[in-house]
Amino acid sequence: MLLRIVETDATPAEALEAFTWGTADDQIGTELERGPRDAVARVYEILKREELEPDIDALARCDGRCSEGASTGIPPF
C-alpha cells in the first residue's frame, strides 16, 4: 500500500488530507463544497481499498523514533 501511495507523488500534506477525507464525517464534502481531487483523490482511493487500516507492522518498526522521511513511509506525528 505504501508503495502505491508513493507512486502517486502526493505530498505528505496531500496524503494526510486523503486520510482525513476517509475518516471524517460526511460534513467535510459539504463544508468544502467539493470532493478530494488530484493526488488526494488517488491516495484516498488507495486508502479506501485498504479500508483505512494503519500499517501496524510499520508503526511497530518505527518504535516512536520516526521522523519525516523515515523508511516506514508514515508521516511523523
Q: Whole-model pTM?
A: 0.57
Asked if residue 6 belongs to a domain, the reply is yes
Give CA–CA dist 37/68, Å, rounded: 24
Give CA–CA dist 55/20, Å, rounded: 16
Tell me what percent of the residues of the chain surpass a pLDDT of 70.
53
Helix (H), strand (E) counts: the chain: 5, 0
Round the average pLDDT of the chain to a whole number and report it: 75
Q: Where residue 77 falls among pLDDT bands split at 50, 70, 90?
A: very low
Asked if residue 23 belongs to a domain, the reply is yes
pLDDT in tens, 6-57: 999 999 999 999 988 888 776 666 666 677 889 999 999 999 888 655 666 6
Q: Indicate the number of domains in the chain.
A: 1
Asked if residue 16 belongs to a domain, the reply is yes
Asked if residue 75 belongs to a domain, the reply is no
Asked if residue 71 belongs to a domain, the reply is no
Where b means 16+ CB within 10 Å and e means fewer, 58-73 reads beeebeeebeeeeebb
pLDDT in tens, 61-70: 666 565 544 4
Asked if residue 31 belongs to a domain, the reply is yes
Cell of 77: 506525528
What's the domain range around 31? Answer: 2-62
